[in-house]
Amino acid sequence: MRSHLLEGTVRHRRVRPFDYGLEHNVWYAALDLDELDELDARLRLFGRNRRALAVFRDRDHLPDPAADVLDGIRSELRAAGEDPEGLRITLITNPRSLGHVFNPASFFLCRDADERLRIVVVEVHNTFGERHVYILRPDAAAAGPDRFRAAMEKSFFVSPFIDRHGRYEVAISEDDGEVRIGIALRQDDQSLLGTSLILHRRPLTDRWLLRMLVRHPLMTHRTIALIHWHAFRLWRRGAPFFRHGASPPAHGRAHRAAR
């Protein structure tokens, strides 16, 4: 099977108006969307839209919550003028644990028959229960079989310590053993912050899934707790604060998810 697990580290560094960094251990599932039903049948600890220790729920994804995530992402691609036929799509995301999930960002990696990354869809969630997708095509100068670079204008409210203008630069590289994802935010041609994920491939088996759940218990509960902890520290240090809705409304596909 092509689906697997990813384990590694997320690093986040802000450089203005002061230097602030963080580093945490994380894990993800990298799910080939054609294999979801097979995974549900083969694994005891993983379930699709049913009770299990780790649950993938289709409705946790996409601005219009998906009844079937593969159909949903194909519809998003068509709406953006892309033909999804022949693309193999892998979703890097956290499954639900104890009924809870929160993914600040998930990544749909869309590969062609030659295994080249043709399109990357970045799905962003904020703590207000909203979702947004950015559909990225690779920069021609940076295209390659094992690397992907693209940029996108910021159009979705994520953090109250960053306003809505700016430009993201996304870089993805991978080999047989590792996936590396970098996202940099620039405002007015100046760096503001950078995030990197360095993730090592693990097999997606019941044994390895149990290992991830034990090594990283309550992963998405911890993510929410850390978001609020770091927000408190930024506020204490005097980072500029922007209220949700104070900036112009996001253009495009933002959705308030059902809670």
Q: Is the pTM of this model over 0.85?
A: yes
* DSSP result, 47-68: EESS-SSEEE-GGGSTTTT-SS
Residue 115 Cα distances to 86, 172, 206, 240, 246, angstroms: 11, 14, 27, 43, 42
C-alpha–C-alpha distance, residues 103 and 138, integer Å: 24
pLDDT given at position 214: 96
pLDDT given at position 164: 85
pLDDT over 80 at 38, yes or no: yes
pLDDT band at residue 46 under the 50/70/90 scheme:
very high
- Structural tokens at position 207: 């044994």
pLDDT over 80 at 141, yes or no: no
pLDDT over 80 at 134, yes or no: yes
Tens digit of pLDDT for each residue in 51-101? 999 999 999 999 988 899 999 999 999 999 999 999 999 999 999 998 899
Is 79 in a helix, a strand, or coil? helix
Mean pLDDT for the stretch of residues 221-244: 92
**Residues making up the chain, counted from first to last:** 259
